[in-house]
Amino acid sequence: MPLPPAPTKRAALLSPDAIDAPAHASTKAPRRGGRQSDDARGNGSQALELFDERSEGAAGGRPSASAARAPTPEVAQQIETKPRPALKPEAAPAAPAAPQGRAERPTIAPAASPAPRARSERGTQEATRARRSKSVGPAKLFVLDTNVLLHDPMCLFRFEEHDVFLPMIVLEELDGHKKGTTEVARNGRQTSRTLDALAGAKDADIAKGLKLDTTGHREAGGKLFFQTAPLDYTLPTSLPQGKADNQILGVVQALRDQYANDRPGQPKQEVVLVSKDINMRVKARALGLAADDYQNDKTLEDGDLLYAGSYALPADFWTRQSKTVESWQSGSSTFYRISGPIVPNLDINQFVYFEAPGEPSMYARVTEIRDKTAVLKTLKDYASAKNAVWGVHTRNREQNFAMNLLMDPDIDFVTLTGTAGTGKTLMALASGLTQVLDDRRYTEIIMTRATVSVGEDIGFLPGTEEEKMGPWMGALDDNLEFLAKGDGGSAGEWGRAATNELIRSRIKIKSMNFMRGRTFLNKYVIIDEAQNLTPKQMKTLITRAGPGTKIICMGNLAQIDTPYLTEGSSGLTFAVDKFKGWPHGGHITLARGERSRLADFASEVL
């Protein structure tokens, strides 16, 4: 593909060890990190130039991406000296703006940013988290529904300085769900063990409340209260009194009336019902009770904030960079070193592209970030027929980005998201067959998926593990048929049959139910329909990877079939957010469908 005009500075100005541009991590902090962060935070009213001049030590020092974004000494001191929330409600700090606190997401990340990120998706996400965790009022009392405990057994410790209340009917329902081998049953048993540990702690007094930090969870500063006495409440006659949901609503109403006024030695508290049941929350609001969803399981507040994996360079990028850019050649790739305030918006293995009318386009990947400079590496053009992968060539920009990740041996983990027909499965299989059969980089392809039905379940399936998974692997069969047809050429019927047999022998179909405890060595693992996985299931699958294994997670976040799972709480969203910026992981969101004009139009209008 055409490249931009040559820069003015020579590559001889670089240190010899910068030729290969490795993406490595280091713990060395930048020399001017504190001054840079202070200027970025304190001079927000001043107009910032699009690109700054290179710092004096940019060529000599080699701080890593993690070091360049480490908290400054002033910020670190503020974090160290921040007081821990008190255990008593009268001395507790202010409550967060949202109903639940986020103990695992402190406000360190926004404060540690070396430059303003108002225009980036990451800045919007971190600003939202900072607002949610800011304390603005007294501690609240959260009444938990049973489905919250069954959804997240650790939810008791996710409310920061706030208190938690469990009605007696919740314990009864929890006892009814503890039998079985399902995920719900396991969560129920784990919740029961957690409650037993809290109640059995030293100096525990159920009447006065159990301190939630006695079992080592120091982020929880509140207390756990059980319903130890009958509560007086009156519900409308239209609500059946014997139903468990209505009994919980009655408990919330009684607690609201009880905590509405100041009591001796304890101020009034706002009582909030937390439930995953939408109808439960609607009924509570109809009765004038405060209710909210359980928010802590959500990685993102809005699916639109998900990391896209690509970044569009401004139209005047080369004009403003003409004096500071450096370039050098290594093999068939060209490297560019850029600087300026655009660098803090970039992540390792993020793709950048420059497209402007009348100027040559550039497509590159961020391979290194050092302080205020970043190194870009041009991509291999898989849209060309000579670079086709198992007969497949890319048709748009995002597909070319994805193929560069799939074919890179230094990338161990790849996540692909996009609507139906964007080519996720086809590209993953084509690159897998090339690296297994041609390059011999991996020994075989292992494919699995979440077995969640779109409609009614058809029941048990006969046969072996692979035979049971056969009906779920229709996408695999369709893509293999296309790949075998394109690779067979004029080999005839016998040749095509031999090719299909060889391909099938190198692809193993496994069920996720039997992944626990396994270790994959030199395998190419494809996890299809990953949007239906929970974060816990995603962690279980990714941690199966042994030496030399590559994992590809694919899915469409608009087609989630698992109950109580949303775009923000999906395991695929969780993986994309956590692996963002890792030197050996990459993500790309495929934007345009290439299946057919009918499928593309249906994705837009239906």
50 with 314: CB under 8 angstroms? yes
231 near 170, Cβ under 8 Å?
no
Sheet holding 271-274, edge to edge: 210-211, 223-226, 163-166, 141-144, 271-274, 290-292
Full-model pTM: 0.64
CA–CA separation, 355 and 368 (whole Å):
22
Helices 278-286 and 244-258: crossing angle in degrees, nearest 10, is: 40
- The pLDDT value given to residue 126: 47
- In this prediction, residue 241 carries a pLDDT of 80
Is 254:233 a contact under the CB 8 Å cutoff? Answer: yes
Could you give the CA distance from residue 469 to residue 587 in angstroms, rounded to a whole number? Answer: 27
- Give burial (CB, 10 Å; 0-12/13-18/19+) of 500: middle
Q: Do 141-293 and 397-452+465-487+495-603 fold alike per CATH?
A: yes
CB 297 within 8 Å of CB 152:
yes
**DSSP assigned state of 435:** I
Q: Is 339 helix (H, G, I), strand (E, B) or coil?
A: strand
pLDDT of residue 164: 92
From first CA to last CA, the distance across the chain in angstroms is 36
Sign of the CA dihedral running 299, 301, 307, 308: positive
- The predicted pLDDT at position 457 comes to 52
Cβ proximity of 558 and 590 under 8 Å? no
- Please tell me the CATH code under which domain 141-293 is placed: 3.40.50.1010
Beta strand 326-330 with 333-339 is antiparallel
Asked if 160 contacts 96 with a C-beta cutoff of 8 angstroms, the reply is: yes
What CA–CA distance (Å, rounded) separates 364 from 379? Answer: 5
**Rounded Cα–Cα distance for residues 112 and 120 (Å):** 15
* Token digits of residue 436: 């297994």
Q: Are 51 and 344 in contact (CB under 8 A)?
A: no
Could you state, in chain order, the average pLDDT of each consecutive group of 10 residues for the chain (606 residues)? 55 47 43 40 40 41 42 43 42 42 39 40 47 57 92 88 91 89 86 91 85 86 89 84 89 89 75 91 93 81 79 85 82 89 89 89 92 91 89 90 94 92 88 91 88 54 63 66 61 61 80 78 91 88 92 90 81 91 93 80 80
Contact 166, 296 (CB under 8 A): no
Alpha helices in 262-416 (DSSP H): 278-286, 317-321, 397-406
User: What residue ranges do the domains of the chain occupy?
Assistant: 141-293, 310-378, 397-452+465-487+495-603
Write the Ramachandran bin of 529: left for phi over 0, alpha for psi from -120 to 50, otherwise beta: left
Specify the DSSP element, H or E, that contains 320. Answer: helix 317-321
Distance CA 420, CA 603 (A): 7
Query: Token pair 């069954």 is at which residue?
Result: 150
What pairs with residue 142 in β-bridges? Answer: 164, 272
β-bridge pairing 290-292 and 310-312: unpaired
Instruction: Look at the chain and count its residues.
Output: 606
Q: Which residues contact 292 (CB under 8 A, 6 or more apart)?
A: 98, 99, 100, 272, 273, 274, 281
Which residues, at least 6 apart from 202, have a Cβ–Cβ distance to it below 8 Å?
214
Residue 344 to residues 188, 271, 367, 401, 442, Cα–Cα distance (Å): 43, 42, 14, 21, 36
CB atoms < 10 A from the CB of 264, how many? Answer: 4
- Sequence-separated (6 or more) residues with CB below 8 Å from residue 180: none
Using CA atoms, how far apart are residues 392 and 486, in angstroms rounded to an integer? 8
Domain 397-452+465-487+495-603 classification at class level = alpha beta
Strands of the sheet containing 444-449, edge to edge, are: 507-509, 444-449, 523-528, 550-555, 413-418, 585-590
Q: Return the pLDDT at 452.
A: 59
pLDDT, position 466:
62
Taking a C-beta distance cutoff of 8 angstroms, is the pair 164, 222 a contact? yes
Distance CA 453, CA 319 (A): 53
Query: How far is it, in rounded angstroms, from Cα 178 to Cα 186?
Result: 7
* pLDDT for 242: 80
Q: Report the pLDDT value the prediction gives residue 9, as an integer from 0 to 100.
A: 52
Instruction: Starting at the earlier edge strand, list the strands of the sheet with 326-330.
Output: 310-312, 351-354, 362-370, 373-378, 333-339, 326-330
> What's the pLDDT at 459?
57
Distance CA 221, CA 158 (A): 10
Bridge partners (DSSP) listed for residue 551: 413, 525
Q: Quote the pLDDT of residue 376.
A: 93
Q: Are 557 and 573 in contact (CB under 8 A)?
A: yes
3-class state of residue 36 by DSSP: helix
For 102, 414, 530, 552, 581, the CA distances from 576, given in Å and listed in that order, are: 20, 9, 11, 12, 10
Beta-carbon count within 10 A of 135 CB: 16
Question: Which residue, chain included where needed, has tokens 């270790």?
Answer: 519
Contacts of 384 (CB under 8 A, 6+ apart): 393
